[in-house]
Amino acid sequence: MSEVEIPEPVASFVDAVNRHDDAAFLDAFTETGVVDDWGRSFSGRAAIKEWSDVEFIGSHGVLTPEEVTVSGKEITVVGDWRSNHANGRSKFVFAVDGDRIAKMTIREG
């Protein structure tokens, strides 16, 4: 299967996640960035880090992108998520603000 092409800054974000690079992961977000994980919201880098330490980077997650769509400043990546916390096809919707992510919404893929 050929690799899907993901626009920046999401491509670097996915790479950071798959390398389990906590600093690059957090730096991908704006200062007021938000993660919406199945309806649970985490605002700001401190709250995102707390969530990620258990459920995302800390759970050694790996995202294998399968589909990418772009609509304006929104990039959607659907792929297979594997971690020590949760597994399965997931949809990640990124609201992009310049070269950073303003919001990442995670739902069933």
Distance (Å, rounded) from C-alpha 82 to C-alpha 58? 12
For 9-108, CATH number out of 3.40.50.12160, 3.90.1010.10, 3.40.50.970, 3.10.450.50 equals 3.10.450.50
Q: Indicate the domain borders of the chain.
A: 9-108
* Residue 2 confidence (pLDDT) above 60: no
* Residue 23 confidence (pLDDT) above 90: yes
- Under DSSP, the state recorded for 57 is G
Q: Which residues, 6 or more positions from 33, have their beta carbon under 8 angstroms from its beta carbon?
A: 43, 44, 45, 48, 100, 101, 102, 103, 104
pTM of structure: 0.94
Q: Partners of 80 in the beta sheet?
A: 64, 89
Query: What one-letter code names the amino acid at 71?
Result: S
25-57 pLDDT tens trace = 999 999 999 999 999 999 999 999 999 999 999
| Average pLDDT, integer, range 14-31 | 97
